[in-house]
Structure 1
């Protein structure tokens, strides 16, 4: 329906020139298509670049309208397009379209926020100071409502949902709110994913050259990589803030970074590629001091269960030697690298603790040094069972466990079963079935499986002979019918008059779907009658479900008019 690169944002039922149709907004234009017109053909198409202003009438007006004024043409003439929003949610729907147009105009003007004037109805009283009955609209929000943004993100990310939205909402079968009422779980899930804050990556950043041409080495920097460098090396972040952009440009800063000893300190590269740099040599010193622990900040709020120095006085008389895994390596470069890894892990854990730690949280030393197993057992509040005659109570319980007194018929039945079981002699060596009977059953099963496979292949052959456009249209009819049935069965239990009207409207839409299916099948002339019969069998469950919905609505008594 839309050309490549253009995506639909909003769609709603409106009236234009007293004709019913659908109003759309995309990322490029405002469009309106009349009901019953050719599919995909827009009666009115207004690019955002051609819009001069938009006007709205008061919310209390009889007809809730939105007027779009175009820029003057070569003759200086302005053109207006007015769209009337019907229904109980007309004001809310108009506000969504007005906000979408405002944002589009603001983006065209370089991020400015143009005012959106609102025109009062022709017979209304002019508002003082507005001039000619035109009053300024309420200041719009800086962005679309969050619910609208979540819906747009879902439509952009899910092509199947976008296709279903186009087949239902844009075709006028259901309204925008009705469509999303059954998709609330998708919107809620999208909101959770959107508001979820990602923590800092714990992986060690290892930048490798993308291409090497002779002595030219190229690296790719993205905002995520730069953020990781700043997180892993705070000294580089301080140098960046001090020199960029007042003293050095950003590109020169990073070129010097990739040539410095700071970057190549643990890499096996030729010494000719490493240059001495005042900025990053200082960063190297600061980083080594932070890693070696000379200027490490004292941690005062360390947990008592993790502080090994807290109980050091208890082991003064004990001779302790570090185990061999605790002895540092003898290679200085390896020790430096291990210290850097440990320092990076400490930064990740520290960032996680600072994010999860509450501002009002206080360290409770008593709770940390108290072992749960050494605490006294806490008595829980219980309701005592007051039994006056305990003997009779336990006797009744014992009799119920033993089964009580069985009836005479039950005892006789059990005795006959025992006698028959004891007198029976097992004959496990004798076959229960003849070999001929077993082979007959196996032959019948194999024949049934073979016929089932042939039928499946025959059905696939019938489907393969259907033109692709016809098959896609039939799939569209089935998707639309199933979704309309879902809306119908969600509304039929209600006794509200508006729900009854909605069910009747959905039944009419389902009848339209059946007509589309029949018209599509009649239009196919390149397939045989057998192929058409197979297709009809595939669609029989849909027709049966629609017939059941129609029967249910007819059996439900209509509510008396109020």
Structure 2
């Protein structure tokens, strides 16, 4: 086995039933090469390491020959039969390390790309922290420059440190303005009947959030059936018809224009969402019973859109919209806030992003449907009404006391018997004391036949404690708060503290890598373990030197 490659005698099998072609298998970091013993054989094989997808091997002790099965990314298998299991294990481990290095390359490029995407302010902040904190600079040089950790991994555990001085986006969710969509007023030129609406990205977002049907219509119609300008022209035409309160004209234009009818009819998407919310309401809340308290259907009560009462034909009732509906929907959207964080001038991107968010929330609601049903059933059982339940007559066991004096006299007897028990307990204590006294007298007379600690061990411990106490008294007797580190020389103390900080840094990255699900994490954990082993070795050397110096001082 050379330092950069592995070479073993194997038999190459193209399939399980193939008897195999004897030859040599040479494995390098970037390539796998099989050379048959027969120069005329056509079984030569060359496979790049990066094309290997997985590897399987037979277990030792399974009464099967040592096989190593390599599968490439195209699904083809290459089977190698080794002479013994140690040779197979050596090749398997070498291929594992080679695959790990192949995976490190895209990771390194990704890290470099992410580093390039850092803003100038973030880079300046990192350099500032390294200049001001010498310990941080030392850790960065120790782990990042030695490639134990990447740049992003090193700074990932210091997000709070970066966040103190960096200008970050506020975590508070951006809200919407309280102005209603119906309050948007157009501008006129004063000479013609032409009006112009000034649509901003915020207004468009609010329209899409309050009216899902309009958002879906935009995705369906723009730009396949109409331009964005024509779409908004039809939308504000529908809003104008609502403001005129003439449902007959709205119904007539909706019958002639199919696209315009989408804006005039009730929002079916919003109605479905409302029905789903109603299904999740507490069943003890009877919403239908509350309709009896509604007086808006009575004469001279109720406010329709724009503060007027209208008499609407039944066939045109779907083109009527009350001010209360607009207020409730607008309030719900304002309370919800911005459900997406998309800053784009493209209206279609905003519409599709909102649709995806609603689909995700709908899927989450469907997954929790069974949980909601179970919760509602449990609430129904707990919130039972007593006046509607059957009477609960629990069986009772009547007391049968023929003479009440027997009951009270028995209780009195228990109280009177307490001192007797106390006397008996006292007598037992005296007996135990007498037995203990006899045992002590016997030990004094005859001694212990089997001592607890051997005399030589006791003498050694006593001598060691005497030396330690006398040394500590001379060194730190004047300062009771002085720690063990204060006894060390300044250079040794600084070195120990740095090793301790290094171990803490490595342990944070070590435990954050679990569970190990990728080869990259496996390689990272191996590097961290090696770095910790080196640090512990340095600590042991430092303490050995320290103990040696203490012994020399004691001899002096």
Normalization by structure 2: what TM-score?
0.32
Q: Which has the higher contact order (CA 8 A, sep 6+)?
A: 2
Larger radius of gyration: 2
